[in-house]
C-alpha cells in the first residue's frame, strides 16, 4: 500500500509551494487507495509556533484535503531519535563531537536515485560531509529524524520539492545505516514567479492565508496548484480534486519548473465563482463588505451577487465594484468622467434620459431599456453618448453589470438624483 506524508514545518504560514506538495501527495495517496499522513516537523522549538500549525491544518482542510490518523509531532519524539543515534554510535557508524552525534560518511561512493520525476540522479559521497544526527542541544538534525520517521511510518514515496534534492543522498545514507530500504523519491520542480525567479514574498502574496483573505476560493486554489507540474491532459484545465484523484499519476508530472501566474489563478477563481450559488457566495462577500465598513440588507447584497458573480475574479472584487450601491462615498473614475460626461452633448443626453425615466412607474430593466432605446433612436445616439455616461453618473465607474439591471437595483430615486447631479455638476462644456 502506498503511504505518503506531508511534513510541514510550522515556522510560517502555508506557502503556495508547500500547498502544492500537500495536494500532490494527497492526490497520489487517494488515487492509489493508500494513506496520506501528516508529520509536523517542529524540531526548531524557537521558530515553531502552534499558531502557524493551526493555520496550516486549517488551510489544508479548507482546500479539501484530509489526512489519515492523527498528525505526528517530531518535538515529541526526541527520545526516539536519540536512541537511534546512540545505537548507530554503539555500532561504530557514528561518533561524538562534544554532545553532538555525527554519522561517518564513507567517501568515494556513488549514490544513485531513480527519481520518479527526474529519472536517474547520481551523487558522490565525496561531496557529503559527516552528518549530524543529534545536535549538541539535544535536538535532532532534519535529515536524520526525517528518515527515522519515514521508516517508522512506512513511507513508500517521498514526494517533495526540488529544494530537498541535495538532502536525498544524505537520507539514503541513513536508510542504509539503519538497515532499511529507502522509499521511492519524487522531487517536484520548484514554483517560479512570472519573472522566472524562485517564488518569494517579492512576487506578492505567497501564502494560502493571503489568498484566502483576498477572496480566492479553495476549489480554485487547489485546481490551479495541482496543475503546476501536472496536467490531466486533453487540454482540460478546470478539474476538481475528486476528478483529479481518478486520473492522477506521479509519472505524468513535469520535470520542468512551473511558473506561477497570478492572472491565470484569477481566471480559475472567476470560473469557480460563476458556478457558486448566491447563497454560498453570500457569507464570503458579506465578510468583505463588513471588513470594508459597508452595511446593507441581505436581500440587496444577494441581488447584487446575482448580477456580479459572473464579473468578479475574487469575492473581494465585489466590494469596489458595488460600493456605489451601498453608500454615497464612492470614488469617481476621473478618466471616465472626461471620456463620457465631459463630452459635448452627453450631459444633455443624461438630462433627457433622466426626464423620460421620471415617467417610468415600474422601474424594471425592460422598461428602462425601452426608454433608453427610444431616445437613442430618435437622437441617433451611440452607447458612448448615453449608456456609458449613465453608468458613470450612477456608479462613478465605467465597468459593472448590465446598466439597466444596475439601475433597477440602485432604485429610481437614487438613479435620477445621481444623473441630475452629474449633469449639472460637471464643468460647463
Active site residues: 201
Q: CA-based angle 12:15:17, to the nearest 5?
A: 140
Looking at 3-11, 75-83, 220-228, 418-426, which segment touches ligand GLU (CB under 6 A)?
Answer: 3-11
User: Per the structure block, which three cell numbers stand in for 130?
Assistant: 559527516
Which CB, 186 or 407, lies closer to ligand GLU?
186
C-alpha to C-alpha distances, 414 to 96, 211, 242, 375, nearest whole angstrom: 81, 35, 47, 21
Select the span of 6-14, 105-113, 199-207, 258-266 touching ligand GLU (CB under 6 A): 6-14
Residue 220: all three cell numbers together? 480554485
Taking the least distance from each CB to ligand GLU, the nearer of 9 and 324 is 9
* 265/271 Cα distance (integer angstroms): 10
The SS3 call for residue 204 is coil
Cross-strand partners of 161: 188
Out of 146, 153, 392, 415, which residue is the one contacting ligand GLU (CB under 6 A)? 146
The count of residues interacting with ligand GLU (CB under 6 A) is 8
156 touches ligand GLU (CB under 6 A):
no
- Pick from 350, 339, 326: nearest CA to 414: 326
Closest of 236, 213, 276 to residue 55, by C-alpha: 213
Helix (H) or strand (E) holding 124: strand 119-124
Residues 130 and 122: their CA atoms lie apart, in Å, by 19
Over the window 238 to 277, marking each residue x when it contacts ligand GLU by CB under 6 A and - when it does not, the resulting string is ----------------------------------------
Which range, of 4-12, 61-69, 174-182, 349-357, touches ligand GLU by CB under 6 A?
Answer: 4-12
CB of 262 to ligand GLU, least distance (A): 23
Of 170 and 323, the one with the shorter C-beta distance to ligand GLU is 170
Query: Mapping DSSP to helix (H, G, I), strand (E, B) and coil, where does residue 389 land?
Result: helix
What is the nearest approach in angstroms of ligand GLU to the Cβ of residue 47? Answer: 12
Spatial separation of the C-alpha atoms in residues 45 and 47, rounded to whole Å: 6
If phi over 0 gives left and psi between -120 and 50 gives alpha, with beta otherwise, what is residue 411?
left
Positions in 39-78 near ligand GLU (CB under 6 A): 41
- Does residue number 9 form part of the binding site for ligand GLU (CB under 6 A)? yes
Please tell me whether residue 170 binds ligand GLU under the rule CB under 6 A. no
Give the nearest distance from C-beta 412 to ligand GLU in angstroms: 58
Rule CB under 6 A: choose which of 164, 266, 313, 418 binds ligand GLU. 164
Residues of this chain that bind ligand GLU (CB under 6 A): 7-9, 18, 41, 146, 160, 164
Amino acid at each position: 500500500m502506498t503511504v505518503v506524508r506531508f511534513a510541514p514545518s510550522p515556522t510560517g504560514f502555508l506557502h503556495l509551494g508547500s500547498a502544492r506538495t500537500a495536494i500532490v501527495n494527497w492526490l497520489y495517496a487517494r488515487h492509489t487507495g493508500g494513506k496520506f499522513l501528516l508529520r509536523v516537523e517542529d524540531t526548531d522549538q524557537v521558530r515553531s509556533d502552534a499558531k502557524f500549525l493551526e493555520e496550516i491544518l486549517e488551510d489544508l482542510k479548507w482546500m479539501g484535503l484530509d489526512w489519515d490518523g492523527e498528525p505526528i509531532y517530531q518535538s515529541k519524539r526526541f527520545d526516539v531519535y536519540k536512541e537511534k543515534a546512540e545505537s548507530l554510535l554503539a555500532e561504530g557508524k557514528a561518533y561524538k563531537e562534544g554532545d553532538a552525534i555525527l554519522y561517518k560518511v564513507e567517501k568515494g561512493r556513488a549514490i544513485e536515485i531513480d527519481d520518479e520525476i527526474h529519472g536517474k540522479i547520481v551523487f558522490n559521497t565525496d561531496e557529503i560531509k559527516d552528518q549530524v544526527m543529534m545536535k549538541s542541544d539535544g535536538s535532532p538534525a532534519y535529515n536524520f529524524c526525517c528518515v527515522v520517521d519515514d521508516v517508522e511510518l512506512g513511507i513508500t514515496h517521498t514526494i517533495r520539492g526540488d529544494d530537498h534534492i541535495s538532502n536525498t543522498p544524505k537520507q539514503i545514507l541513513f536508510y542504509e545505516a539503519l538497515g532499511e530500504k529507502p522509499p521511492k523519491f519524487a522531487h517536484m520542480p520548484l514554483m517560479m514567479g512570472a519573472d522566472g525567479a524562485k517564488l518569494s514574498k517579492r512576487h506578492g502574496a505567497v501564502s494560502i492565508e493571503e489568498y484566502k483573505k483576498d477572496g480566492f476560493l479553495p476549489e480554485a486554489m487547489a485546481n490551479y496548484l495541482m496543475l503546476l507540474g501536472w496536467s490531466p491532459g486533453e487540454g482540460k484545465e478546470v478539474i476538481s480534486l475528486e476528478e483529479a484523484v481518478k486520473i492522477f499519476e506521479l509519472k505524468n508530472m513535469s520535470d520542468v519548473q512551473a511558473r506561477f501566474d497570478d492572472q491565470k489563478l484569477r481566471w480559475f477563481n472567476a470560473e469557480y465563482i460563476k458556478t457558486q450559488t448566491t447563497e454560498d457566495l453570500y457569507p464570503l462577500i458579506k465578510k468583505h463588505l463588513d471588513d470594508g465598513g459597508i452595511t446593507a440588507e441581505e436581500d440587496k447584497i444577494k441581488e447584487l451577487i446575482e448580477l456580479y458573480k459572473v464579473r468578479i475574479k475574487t469575492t473581494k472584487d465585489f466590494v469596489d465594484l458595488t460600493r456605489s450601491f451601498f453608500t454615497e462615498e464612492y470614488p469617481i473614475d476621473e478618466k471616465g468622467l472626461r471620456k463620457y460626461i465631459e463630452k459635448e452633448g452627453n450631459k444633455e443626453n443624461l438630462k433627457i434620459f433622466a426626464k423620460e425615466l421620471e415617467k417610468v412607474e415600474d422601474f424594471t430593466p425592460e422598461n428602462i431599456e425601452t426608454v433608453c432605446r427610444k431616445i437613442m433612436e430618435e437622437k441617433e445616439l451611440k452607447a458612448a453618448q448615453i449608456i456609458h455616461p449613465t453608468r458613470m453618473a450612477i456608479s462613478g465607474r465605467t465597468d459593472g453589470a448590465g446598466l439597466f439591471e444596475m439601475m433597477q437595483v440602485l432604485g429610481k430615486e437614487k438613479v435620477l438624483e445621481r444623473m441630475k447631479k452629474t449633469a449639472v455638476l460637471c464643468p460647463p462644456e
